[in-house]
Chain A
Amino acid sequence: MLQLEKPMVDERIQKETNRFFAKLFFFQTLFVIGGMVMQIVNPVPLRVFCLQIICLVVGIGFALIQLITKGVFWLKAKDDALISIREEILAVAYSLEFIILLLGDCVFIFFEKEYSSWNVLYCFEWMIPAWIYVVIGIKHSWIQWGGKARQINGKKLLKKLWIPAMVAAVFMIILLELPDWLEDKVFSGNEIFAVSVIVIGIPMGSYFLMKKIVDAGEKRANKMLEELEKQEEMTLEE
């Protein structure tokens, strides 16, 4: 079996991802502010948009404190090292906002039944920037296995995630649907089918989606290398 000598922590990918996340931070922040404006226009109780307030306070607060304390809030000279520190801070701020929106969205699904339609907005707020990253990440091959040996180990790791994903799906059913089913005291064939689709479908769907995304990034990375090799051959011929 192929063993990895070192886990892949590629500084080039890290730098390029940070640069992109720094841009996504501003995009996601504007997106969340836009969502808040929508909720102010269509008045909703404070508890419904407190998720967005927490997201903005934590994200912007973290970015401001870090940028000021590290002295990179305003850069007079274009210094590569300072720019990369700044991008790293904004990338962490983006990740914080993303995690808060994702977790908050899950909490919102479970506990807010009255205004559940707003859940779509919260989904868009974390999902759209995340999908932009996936598309651009594949294009620039930031998302990749990093070689054949890593591909084998990566796929094994993804398969190991099936069990936690199934447990999460069962947990989701218990919290979301079980009280209603128990109230009806009827557990019909349709409901059993729905449960099996969620418990098997979610982990399976996530596995194949992840695999497909990373495979696409890997393919793109290989194509990029082939192009580099071709360029080199051409210069040698010249």
Chain B
Amino acid sequence: MKNKRMKIARIECDLTQEQLAEKVGVARQTIGLIEAGNYNPSISLCIDICKALNKSLDELFWPQEE
């Protein structure tokens, strides 16, 4: 499932995938895969991403009800 909320939050913070990857200590490709929904990050990586984007876990990773 694609993570559009994470992509929007990243763009709102004016960060590129590479900049966010450097902030959280992963490869740019991993951020790309998370946004595309092709990789499920661990909880610690989710927390790092939330901290970098100033969002809560719920806001970025909790599944939205249709």
* B-binding residues in A (CB < 8 A): 4-13, 141, 144, 146-150, 221, 224-225, 228-229, 231-232
Contacts and interface: CB of A to CB of B under 8 A. Distances in A.
Interface of B: 2, 17-18, 21-30, 32-33, 36, 38-39, 41-42, 44-45
A225 B28 contact: yes
Contact of A13 (B22, B27, B32): B27
Nearest to A235: B2
B47 to A, nearest CB: 12
A12 B30 contact: yes
Given A6-B22, A147-B21, A147-B27, A225 B32 contact: yes
Contacts of A8: 25-27
A225 B38 CA distance: 12
Contacts of A9: 25-26
**Closest 6 A/B residue pairs (Cβ):** A6-B25, A10-B26, A146-B27, A147-B18, A225-B32, A221-B29
A148 B18 contact: yes
A4 B33 CA distance: 21
Main secondary structure of the interface of A (DSSP, over half): helix
B38 A146 contact: no
Contacts of B23: 5-6
A11 B41 contact: yes
Given A221-B28, A225-B29, 13 more contacts: A5-B25, A6-B23, A9-B25, A10-B26, A11-B30, A11-B44, A12-B26, A12-B30, A147-B27, A225-B17, A228-B36, A228-B38, A231-B36
Contacts of B22: 4-6, 147, 149-150
B27 A144 contact: yes
18 contacts: A4-B22, A6-B25, A8-B25, A10-B25, A11-B26, A11-B30, A11-B44, A11-B45, A12-B39, A141-B29, A146-B28, A147-B27, A221-B29, A225-B17, A225-B28, A228-B36, A228-B38, A232-B36
A13 B27 CA distance: 8
Contacts of A7: 25
Contact of B29 (A4, A11, A149, A224): A224
B31 to A, nearest CB: 9
